[in-house]
Structures are given as structure tokens and as C-alpha cells.
Structure 1
Amino acid sequence: MEFLVVLIVALVVFGVFRYFRQRMYLKTLTEDQFKEGYRKAQLIDVREPQEFKRGHILGARNIPVTQMKQRLIELRKDKPVYLYCQSGSRAARAAQLLNKKGYKDINVLKGGFKKWTGKIK
């Protein structure tokens, strides 16, 4: 029983630590904030190609999170990166990878594509 309590406390502490560490390099933007800046940025849809084909934000490029490491050459470090996926979790994983590789201006759409009400293709 004692072990279980320690394990639960450790998991909570780890989760809180990851949350605050992520906030240091990742900006989660509302749809309005996202719309303000994505046209001047690198807009990346990190969903899989079949999801992208069913609909995506106008002007987005598809670089699935599963291919991100191999395709980093396609992204510039000197321009903001705006990421989105279906709900936000894959975009956060992609942001973590980009941060480790030295990208600085990383933004994620809060709620992902399923909450997007703007123009789509």
C-alpha cells in the first residue's frame, strides 16, 4: 500500500514537472491567436497523410510526427513554427522534438484541428 502511494505521488510530481517544462518552450495558442500569426510562419499539420487528405488548415504542410525526425531539414529554425494535430497531443510531441533540436518559436493550436473553425481545404 505504501509503495502505491509513493508511486502515485511520483507520477503526479513528474506530470507537473513536464507540464511546467513544456510551458518554457511551447506556446499553446487559442484559435484567434493562431490565426494572427500562422500566415507568417511555418504551418505544419503533424497528423498522418490520410487525416491530412480528409481536410486541413489552408496553407498547411503535412509532416507527420512519425516522420518529423527524418524531415527536420524541411523546417527553418529562424521562422516561427505553428503546429497542429487532431486534438493537441501529437503536436505537443512534435514540439518537444523540435525544442530538443534547437527550434525556439514553437506554437501549438489549442484543441487541435477538431476545434478549428477557420478556412480549410
Structure 2
Amino acid sequence: MLWQWIIVGIIIVGFIAYTVGRSLYQRSYLKELTQDEFIQGYRKAQLIDVREPNEFENGHILGARNLPLTQLKMRKGEVRKDKPVYLYCQNGVKSSRAAAMLKKHGCKELYVLKGGFKKWTGKIKTKNA
């Protein structure tokens, strides 16, 4: 019985170490920005919404183009490696995954919107507007 608890403990410690290591690695290439910081830089960069097309059509940050995470592997060639990339999704999870893909593609300046679109209070465009 004791050995089972030892194995469970090793698994938990391993998972925690993996999670912390991954987070530290992600911070080496990805910067999470507040809305104010995001606004200061996204006009000089590639602004990409990685949500699905129906979410994008229901409202997106003015000037953004839609490049869904589900299509990113096939369409990564549409993203320039020599310009900063500002990413956002609904809450920040998909944009972080997109940033990992784009880093492998060779993009160096990657930024995500902290809290995602659901926290955005700036200008938006909808399909009716």
C-alpha cells in the first residue's frame, strides 16, 4: 500500500515540475500584455484572432484578422516572421497554444492579450457594424 502512495506522489511531483517548466519556457518567448500594453503595440504588428470564424464574426478587435487555431498549422505561412504577432482568443488559452506553434514556425516577437477578448473593452467590429 505504501508503494502505491509513493508512486502517486512521484506522479504528482512530476506533473508539477512539468507544468512549472513549461510555464517558464513559455515566458522565454511569449509576453502576456494588459489591454493598455496591447493597444500600444498591435497597430504596428500582425493582429490575429485565433477563435473560430463564428466567434470572430460575432465581434472582434478592430483591425484583427481571423486565423483560427484549428487551421493554424495549415495556414502558418500567412504569418510573417519578421513582424511582431499580437494574438488573442476568448480567454487566453488558445492564443498561448497558437504562439507555441508560431514560435516553431520561426516567429520571434509573440504577444497575447491577458484575459482574452472577454476582458476587452476597446473598439470592436461586429458583422452588423
Structure 1 residue runs of 4+, over 3 Å off? none
Give the TM-score normalised by the residue count of structure 2. Answer: 0.93
Equivalent of 1:43 in 30, 44, 47 = 47
- Letter of the aligned partner of 2:79 in structure 1? L
1:25 paired residue number: 29
Distance 1:15 1:75 in 2: 28
What CA RMSD, in Å, does the superposition of the two structures yield over aligned residues?
0.5
Q: Spell out the pairing of 1:105-116 with structure 2 (5 A cutoff).
A: 105-116=109-120
Cα deviation 1:16-52 (Å, max 9, x = unaligned): 0000000000010000000000011000000000100
Give the C-alpha shift of residue 88 in structure 1: 0.3
- Letter of the aligned partner of 1:17 in structure 2? G
Distance 2:24 2:46 in 1: 25
- Letter of the aligned partner of 2:19 in structure 1? G
Count of residue pairs brought into register by the alignment:
121
Give the C-alpha shift of residue 73 in structure 1: 1.7
Q: Percent same amino acid among aligned pairs?
A: 62
Give the C-alpha shift of residue 67 in structure 1: 0.4
Q: Spell out the pairing of 1:7-86 with structure 2 (5 A cutoff).
A: 7-86=11-90
Specify the structure having the higher radius of gyration (Cα).
2
SS for the counterpart of 1:68 is helix
Gaps of 5+ in 2: none
- Letter of the aligned partner of 2:56 in structure 1? F
- Letter of the aligned partner of 2:68 in structure 1? P
SS for the counterpart of 2:124 is coil
1:3 paired residue number: 7
